[in-house]
Structures are given as C-alpha cells and as structure tokens.
Amino acid sequence: MKKMIMTPGPTYIHEDVRKAMACEITNPDLDHDFYEFYRDTCNQVKDLLHTKNDVLMLAGEGILGLEASCASLVEEGDRVLCIDNGIFGHGFGDFLQMYGGDVVYFEAEYTSDIEVEALEGFLKEDHDFKLATLVHCETPSGITNPVDKICKLLKSYGILTVVDSVSAIGGEPLNVDEWGIDIVLGGSQKCLSAAPGLTFLSVSQDAWAMMNNRKTPVRGYYCNLSKWQSWYEDKWFPYTQSISEIYGFRKAVERVNTKGDYIERHKKIGQAVRKSLLEGGLKLYPTSGHSNTVTTMMVPENIAFKSLYDTMLDDHGIMIAGAFSHLKDKVLRIGHMGENCYEEKLFITLKALDKTIRKHGFDLKVELHKSFANHLD
C-alpha cells in the first residue's frame, strides 16, 4: 500500500520538486552560473522571510543551522538566555552550553505559548545577556510562540535574537526585519516540503558584527558561519554544495512564494482540525498558542498510542506521529504542513482517525472528517 505521510515533517514532496532534484548537475565550486543560481535562491528565501539580511543555505538538517548559530556567536563564559517552553526550546540550551555559554533559562509552562508579560517582568530584573534563543513552533507539543512580540522586547534590551523556526517557516507569519530577528533558521523538510538535508538561515548585520568581534576563534569549521561572509564576491564556498538538494529546494520555495496563500491556508486548516477533534470529545495538548502547522492531541485514556499508530498505518496507509521525551505515548500528532496542508488530505486523515479511534473503543461524539469539513468555511 502507498503510504500517506502526515507527520510534522518530513512532508510530501511535490513531483516538480522531485524532478528538479534529478536535473543534471555541474561543478558547484567552479561553475559561476551556480553561484548566480545559489544567490537567486537565497533571494527567494529572503522574500519568504521578509528580510534584507543575508541568507545562507547549508548542507545539513535544521539542527546544523541551530548548532552553527550557537558555535558562531557564543564564546566561553558568555551570559546567554534560553527561552524554554518545550523540548526544542530547552534543547537549544544544550547547544549554547556545548560552546561555552553560561546559560540562564527562562522556564515557562510547556502546555502554553510564552507569556510576553512574564518575560517582560523577568527581563526588568535581569537583561545582561549577549543573546537569546527561542523556538517559533514547538513541534512536539504543537505550540507557536509570539515571536514578533518576544523579539521586539529582547531587542529593546539590546539582546541579539536567534530563532528556530524550522517547523513554522512557510506555515506561520514570519517578518524577520519588522520583528528584528538577528538569526532565523529553517529546514527543508517541514512546511517548505523539500527533501530533508538542508538548513537555511538569515543573518543580520549585528550578528555578523558579533562574529567578527569575537575574542576567541570559532571552535570548528563546518559550523563556522563567518566562513560564508564573502562567498559570492570571492566565488568560493567553504565546501562543495549539495547541488541536487538545492535544485529541489529552489523549486519548493518558488512554489510557496508564487502561491502566496500559505498563511491563510494553514490557519484555516489548523483551526478546522482542532475544532473537529474537540467536537469529537478529544483533548488537545496545548491550552493556548495552538500551532497551525501541527496539531498535538492527547491519546484517549485506556488506549495505547502504538495501537492507534499501527491501525492508522495498517488499515488506512496513513502515517501519523507520536512525540518523544515526556510526551512519549501520551500524545498523537498530525502534521498539516506545506504540501500536506490541503483540505482533501486532512479529510482523508481524519476519516481514518475517526474509524481508528472508534475501533479501539472510544465513542466519538461526531464524525471527525464531517466536523472538519463543516469548520472549513
């Protein structure tokens, strides 16, 4: 049976993107046309992020963007702030520490989005930080943080901002320049629906300046963003580029930019998915800040996550996700990202979920897929 992958990344890849990856390659180090292609692709990403800042694409998954930001900016003993309301948010702190950061955590509830007033109160007492890290969408819990307000607040204290938007870029609003984000990073395999394997980041002048004014050299090479400062002028990449992945990624970004309706689409579908689950008598994990790219619901009592997962896959050919760490076996996640964020795909998924949940003995109050359809308008 052909599987439908409805996980919060990797997502379905459109045929045009797959075909682009099969294009004939050139030598990306020597061919000047490739430097132009790489730059044009960065410009497309700038449009997507609403920024004039430099954009880079690196060969490696989203985690590389995250680690490279920490490696390039943090020096031994730097006081840095880790804004933590979830698994990825907390994990950012581990990377900060790995590169010598003296990490202070702003810990918030894992079931809701960051309360800006609480952060404001915290910063009034203590704001001596070189930079702060923040996650846009906490993918395991399905929570989107108010990055706009948080970054503006941090900037008002002169704190540099690094935002992991891997599971939000291309699904939620993101205005890098207006919100004053110094580094935002994404991944190819989430809402942009390209193959896994690339990370991309936008880097502000302040972030470049921080790298250039380091007292100690960056530990490592592959994670050193400053190696990229004049790649275009010098026609030199720090290492050979993953050209086929970049071909595919370019097509994927073009698709998102030319359609231009992605924010509305994700919002409409995210809302309808949540309403249908609630109407069916199910519970969502977050109490606020619900993400429009992934929905995290509680596994009903007395049902094992594994049995829901297996039935969805074996009877219906649909792959959904669980989560890890403290959420393991407690929640079920449906990704509605990028190429998976279409009415027909969620209708089919919810119809299968409806049958699956009933099969395991939970009496739903409405038919999930019908309720979903009713809530689309």
Ligand X SMILES: *Cc1c(COP(=O)(O)O)cnc(C)c1O
Chain residues in the site for ligand X (CB under 6 A): 9, 61-63, 88, 135, 139, 164, 166-167, 187
At closest approach, how far in Å is the CB of 66 from ligand X? Answer: 6
Query: How many alpha carbons lie under 13 Å from residue 327 in its C-beta half-sphere?
Result: 23
At closest approach, how far in Å is the CB of 253 from ligand X? Answer: 17
- Between β-strands 198-203 and 54-59, what pairing exists: parallel, antiparallel or unpaired? antiparallel
- The C-alpha atoms of residue 62 and residue 283 are separated, in whole angstroms, by 30
Residues in the chain: 377
CB closer to ligand X out of 67 and 354: 67
At closest approach, how far in Å is the CB of 137 from ligand X? Answer: 6
**What does the buried/exposed string (b/e) look like for 296-334 if buried means 16 or more CB atoms within 10 Å of the residue's CB?**
bbebbeebebeebbebbbeebebebbbbeeebeeebbbb
DSSP output for 179-240:
HT-SEEEEETTSTT---SSEEEEEE-HHHHHHHHT-SS--S-STT-GGGGTTHHHHT--SS-
CB closer to ligand X out of 139 and 276: 139
In Å, how far are 20, 33, 183, 226, 239 from 30, measured between CA atoms? Answer: 21, 9, 29, 21, 12
Give Cα 195 distance to the centre of its chain. Answer: 14
CB closer to ligand X out of 101 and 335: 335
CB closer to ligand X out of 180 and 187: 187
At closest approach, how far in Å is the CB of 43 from ligand X? Answer: 24
CB closer to ligand X out of 296 and 371: 296
CB closer to ligand X out of 44 and 188: 188
At closest approach, how far in Å is the CB of 34 from ligand X? Answer: 27
CB closer to ligand X out of 63 and 116: 63
Among 225, 280, 238, 274, which Cα is nearest to 376's?
Answer: 274
Specify which residues 335 forms β-bridges with: 294
Q: What's the one-letter identity of residue 167?
A: S
At closest approach, how far in Å is the CB of 88 from ligand X? Answer: 4
At closest approach, how far in Å is the CB of 9 from ligand X? Answer: 5
